Amino acid sequence: ESMWKHCNKQSFRFYSSTALEQIKVLDLTRLVAGPLCTMILSDLGAKIIKVEVPGTGDESRNWPPYLNSDNKEMTCYFASLNRNKKSICINFKSDDGIKVMYDLVEKCDVLVENFVPGKLDKLRLGYDQLKAKVPRLIYCSLTGFGNQGPYKFKPGLDVIAASVGGLWQITGPYGGEPCKPGVAMTDIATGLYAHGAILAALYERNKTGKGQKIDCNLLSTQVAGLINIGSNYLNLNIEGKRYGTAHESIVPMQAFQTSDGYITIAAASNAQYTSLCKQLNVEELAVDERFKTNELRVKNRDILIELLKPYFRKRTTAELMKILDGGSCPFGPVNTIEQVFNDKHIKEIDLVHETKTSKGTRVRMVGPPVVYSVSQNAVRSPPPYLGQHTREILTQELKYPEPLIQKLYEEKVVQ
């Protein structure tokens, strides 16, 4: 049986109702946080019009590897963040391009952008300028550092916000160098915050009939994401440290090396720790006065971990999975990416979807992770090629006559 769930227009035609099917979003974002935000909205049925720069488009279109190395039609990076969207290329630095943008704004409920503060104001696309034309517009800005403070005009990316915001300082091996998380976690969190903020603003508009401006930024999101580590410092002046895979406040909660890999243990309570010791047949460690409570285990962390390590190293990961099964202590293997997508659970829940681009290139992607009992949350169309829907949007959405469309193409206002 194939591990991939095939999805195309035919297989999703039964999705007749979605939570956001009446919502139109003008998406001026690129890279990660913004496209993730609008993709989540698109999964819920919002119509996304992705506005891109003629010629180059979203920078992630140029971040290899490519889906098809022979023709370099689309990168895997871009494909992972831009399904269910329609792409139009507009040179909105031109007067005619601004006119097209204004016409699109009037058709949309939400605008999402991630330009440096002030940039769109200079292009006559700032919030105050558009609010005067479309008072019901919800305008969401995603920036590196927000629209206040001494850093507001600085360009910001995930790695910078994660560095300035402390994430790198507390990530990495104990006593080692700071480390970057394997994916852009600050971007992801900002996109999630932004999508929730947009939904709240839409709900508010249902009551007032008015839109509003939303400001999300990477640095504030990252600092908010420090959660317990931030609280430790704010309340007790405790500086955060790097603990590798271990947890600062809970022991044992970390990865242990096995004879052929790694397994992660998460004994978040005394009962779970006792269960772990029972499953490993080291019940003497459960009653040892040095380890009877989590507070004591944190205090005597190094001693306990060194005592536990041999019991993991002498067994394979698979053997330990069997030994620990049935106990109350959570555990799991440290999987390679191949193992993740071949995991029986991932296959069973049909999390991976497959579709094809308009040029026939196969695209496999992780679908929406949230399941609703009524609302549909789905992959409905593949990520678009640059400017794939320009003519369709000008014709069907804006009702432009053909002579005007032809003029816009000839004058390179659109592509």
The catalytic residue positions are: 187
Which among 335, 332, 334, 325 is positioned nearest to 280, based on CA atoms? Answer: 325
Sequential DSSP letters for 50-97: EEE-TTT-SGGGGSSPBSSTTT---BHHHHTT-TTEEEEEB-TTSHHH
Q: Which amino acid is at 115?
A: F
CB-based contact 265:254 (threshold 8 Å)? yes
Instruction: Return the SS3 of 99.
Output: helix
CB-based contact 78:61 (threshold 8 Å)? yes
Can you tell me the distance from the alpha carbon of 193 to that of 316, in angstroms, rounded to the nearest whole number? 40
11: tokens are 């297989």
> Nearest 5°: CA angle at 64, between 62 and 67?
100
Distance of CA 350 to CAs 53, 71, 283, 354, 365, Å? 35, 30, 40, 10, 11
Can you tell me the distance from the alpha carbon of 95 to that of 89, in angstroms, rounded to the nearest whole number? 15
Cβ-proximal residues to 130 (8 Å cutoff; 6+ apart), any chain: 105, 111, 137, 139
| CA 151 from centroid of its chain's CA atoms | 24
CB-based contact 331:324 (threshold 8 Å)? yes
* Percent helix / strand / coil, the chain, rounded to 5: 40, 15, 45
Can you tell me the distance from the alpha carbon of 396 to that of 329, in angstroms, rounded to the nearest whole number? 57
81: left (phi over 0), alpha (psi -120 to 50) or beta: alpha
DSSP 414: B
- Cα Rg for the chain, rounded, in angstroms? 25
Can you tell me the distance from the alpha carbon of 365 to that of 382, in angstroms, rounded to the nearest whole number? 10
75: tokens are 């990168």
Which among 80, 5, 85 is positioned nearest to 45, based on CA atoms? Answer: 85
CB-based contact 49:57 (threshold 8 Å)? no
